[in-house]
Structure 1
Amino acid sequence: MPTFSPLATRMLDAALAASKVILEHYQQHIEVERKDDGSPVTAADAAGEAIIIEMLRDLDIPILGEESVADGKIPQLGSRFFVVDPLDGTKEYIKRNGEFTVNIALVEDGVPTHGVIIAPALNSAYIGTPDGSYRAAIENCVPQAWERISTNPKMECKIVASRSHAHGAIKHFLDEAGPCEDVSVGSSLKFCLVAEGAALHYPRFTPTCEWDIAAGHAILSHAGGALIEATGQPMRYGKNDTDFLNPYFAAAASPACAIKCAEIMMRALEKAR
C-alpha cells in the first residue's frame, strides 16, 4: 500500500467527502440551472465545492474553484494553488450515466504536481503524486487496495474522442492516426483511461478550463504520460488573463506520443479550415 503525504491525503479526504454529498444529491431529483455561459449547474456542484473549500481552507493555499469563479470570487493565486472542479461532467450527472467526477489538483509554478479524481457513482478513485499514480475501488467511501497505474505507449491506437460530439478536425485526426478504436468516457475519466493504459491519445479540439484538466494532467504525468498544448508548448496554469481557458491540447501515453498527437492535431486543424 502506498503512503501518501499529508497534503495528498488531505486532498483525497476532501474529494471523498464531496463525493459522498454529491451522491446524496444524485439519488434525489436533480434541479438544473444555467450559468451565464449556458452550461448546466446543479445544487451538487455548489455543495461539493463548499465542502472541499472548508476542508482545505486551513492550509492557507489559494483555491481556484469552478463555482467560485462563476460567482466572481477569484483569489490571488501566486505560485502555489489548488484547482477544484467539484462536479466535472455535469451533463453526465444529469443523464445519470455515472461518468462524472470530483477533481482536486495542486499547481506549483504553473504545473499540476498532485491530482485526485473520484468517480462517485462508479466507486473509483485515482490519485497522482510525485511518487506515482494509483487507482482504487471505493467501498463505503473508503478506497481499497491502491494499485499503481502506468500508461502504455506501445499499445494499439485507442483514442479518447468522439466523432459525433467533437470538432470537425477529429475526422482528419483519425484519418492520419487511425485505425483507432474510440474508447471515450465522460468527464476527466478520459485522462484516467490514458493513465491506466486503456487509451493512447486524447486530442482535445473543444474548449476546457483549468479546473477541467488539472487533476487529470497530474495523474497522467505521474503515470508516465504527458499533456501539451496542440502547438507543442507546455500547458501552464493560472491563466487569469484568459479567464482560465485552455488552448487545444494533446494528452497521450508518453511525451513522445503527446508530441506526435499535437503534430497530427495541427495538421487536422489546417485541413478542417
Structure 2
Amino acid sequence: MLMSNILNELITITRQAGDKIMEFYRRGETQTWTKKDDSPITEADLAAHHIIVDGLAQLTPDIPVLSEESANITWDERKQWQRYWLVDPLDGTKEFIKRNGEFTVNIALVDNGTPIMATVYAPALDQMFWADKENGSFFSEGQQAPIKLDLTVTQPETKLRVVGSRSHPSAEMATFVEQFELHEIVPTGSSLKFCLVAQGRADIYPRLGPTMEWDTGAGHCIALLAGAVVTKLDGSELLYNQRESLLNEFFVVSHPLIEWN
C-alpha cells in the first residue's frame, strides 16, 4: 500500500478514536482507575485503544503496534522491530478528566528509531495534525493547510514563547527559562505542545520531566517535519525503541534558530 493511502486511512482511524473519546467526554461520567505508576486511565483510553489497534491490524497487518495500554511487550521482541506503530490512545488523560479540551489521540509510524508518519488529533478542539516524511506536516481545523516554520525569523519580536506543561510543572523548567531574559510561559496540555512549536505559535518546548515514548512519538514527527529541532539535552537525536526502558530522556523542541543551553 502507498504511504499516502496509509496516511489517509490513519487519519480516519485517528478520528474514529477521537469520536469515541468524545462520547465519554460529553457524557461527563467516565470510570477512572489508577495505574501502577499512579497515572490515571479511563474507559475512554481503553475504548480508543481498541479502535486504533483493530484499525491498524486491518490497515498494516505486518507492522506491530506498541500502545500505552498494551505496553507489556518484551525487549527481546521489541528490539527485533525495524518499523512499528507507536500509540497513545488518549494523551493528556488529566486534561480529559479536568475537561479543558487539551487531550489528543497520538499515532506514529516509527522506522529505525525515527517517527516518519503521524497523526495528532484533539477531538474536543476539532484540530487534526498529520505528517509524513515525503510531504511534511499539515493542520486542519475545518480547512487543511501545510505547516512549515519560517526560517527567516532570527529571533522573536517580543518575548520568547516557552511551552510548559499544564499538569506537570517542574523546578527544572523554571531554571531552564532563566537563560532567556524576556520570555513568557504558554501552558498547554498533551502533545499539543509539540504542535504549537510546529505551527510557530511558540518558540521552544523544553521537556524536563518524565515522558514515555508513546507520549512523544506523534508530536515529535509533526514538529520535526514542520522544520523544528527535537533533541536531547546533549544535542543528540531523540530516538525510539533503542533500549529496554520506554522512558524518554529529557529533550527540547525548538525553532532551529533559537539558541539554548
Same fold (TM > 0.5):
yes
Structure 2: which 5+ runs fail to align? none
Instruction: Give 1:145 shift.
Output: 2.6
1:217-228 to 2 correspondence within 5 Å? 217-228=220-231
Change (3 A) 1:165 1:111: closer
Q: Distance in 2 between matches of 1:178 and 1:149?
A: 28
1:126 match: 129
The answer to whether residue 183 in structure 2 is matched with residue 180 in structure 1 is: yes
* Aligned pairs for 1:61-210 within 5 A: 61-69=63-71, 72-73=72-73, 76=78, 78-130=81-133, 131-137=135-141, 144-152=142-150, 154=153, 155-156=155-156, 157-161=160-164, 165-210=168-213
Q: Are 2:167 and 2:189, in contact at CA under 8 Å, matched by a contact in 1?
A: no
| Matches of 1:23 and 1:180, distance apart in 2 | 35
Q: How many Å separate the matches in 1 of 2:45 and 2:90? A: 5
Does the C-alpha gap of structure 1 residues 33 and 225 become closer, same or farther in structure 2, counting only changes over 3 Å?
same
C-alpha distance in 2 between matches for 1:253 and 1:109:
24
Partner of 1:27, secondary structure, is helix
Taking the aligned partners of 2:145 and 2:33, their CA distance within structure 1 comes to 38
- Looking at structure 1, the residues matched to 178 and 190 of structure 2 have their Cα atoms a distance apart, in angstroms, of 25
Q: Which runs of 5+ in 1 are unaligned?
A: 138-143, 265-273
Which deviations, in whole Å up to 9, do the C-alpha atoms of 1:104-154 show, x marking residues without a partner? 0000111001110000000110011121111101xxxxxx43101122463
Asked if the contact 1:33–1:41 (Cα under 8 Å) also holds between the matched residues in 2, the reply is yes
Match status 1:38 vs 2:38 = yes
Cα distance, 1:87–1:165 mapped onto 2, change above 3 Å:
closer
CA change 1:73–1:165 in 2 (3 A) is: closer
Q: For the residues of structure 2 that align with 1:34 and 1:212, how far apart are their CA atoms?
A: 18
The corresponding residue for 1:269 is none
**Conserved? CA contact 1:163–1:171, under 8 Å:** no
Counterpart Cα distance in 2 of 1:208 and 1:127:
21
> C-alpha deviations, 1:177-209, integer Å up to 9, x for none?
231111221000001100000001100110001
Alignment check: 8 A CA contact 1:191 1:220 kept: yes
Deviation at 1:55, TM superposition (A): 0.7
**1:212/1:178 CA distance change after superposition, 3 Å:** farther
Superposed CA RMSD in Å reads 1.9
CA contact (8 A) 1:79 1:108 kept: yes
Could you tell me which amino acid in structure 2 is paired with residue 135 of structure 1?
F
Measured against aligned partners, the alpha-carbon deviations of 1:134-177 in whole angstroms (never above 9, x if no partner) come to 1101xxxxxx4310112246352110025994221222222212
Aligned residues with identical type, % of pairs: 38
| Higher relative helix content | 1
In the TM superposition, what is the alpha-carbon distance from 1:94 to its structure 2 partner? 0.1
Corresponding residue SS for 2:145:
strand
Does the C-alpha gap of structure 1 residues 38 and 239 become closer, same or farther in structure 2, counting only changes over 3 Å?
A: farther
The answer for the alignment partner of 2:51 in structure 1 is 51
Mean CA deviation greater in 177-186 or 50-59: 177-186
Partner of 1:18: 17
Is residue 211 from structure 1 mapped to residue 214 from structure 2 by the alignment? Answer: yes
> CA deviation digits over 1:2-30, x for unaligned, max 9?
x9701111221111110111100111202
Letter in 1 for 2:55: M
Q: 1:64 to 1:36 in 2, by over 3 A?
A: same
Q: TM-score, normalised by structure 2?
A: 0.89
Residue deviations 1:42-72 (CA, integer Å, cap 9, x gap): 0110110110111110311010100001xx2
**1:200-236 deviations in whole A, cap 9, x for unaligned?**
1100110001110100111101111021111111111
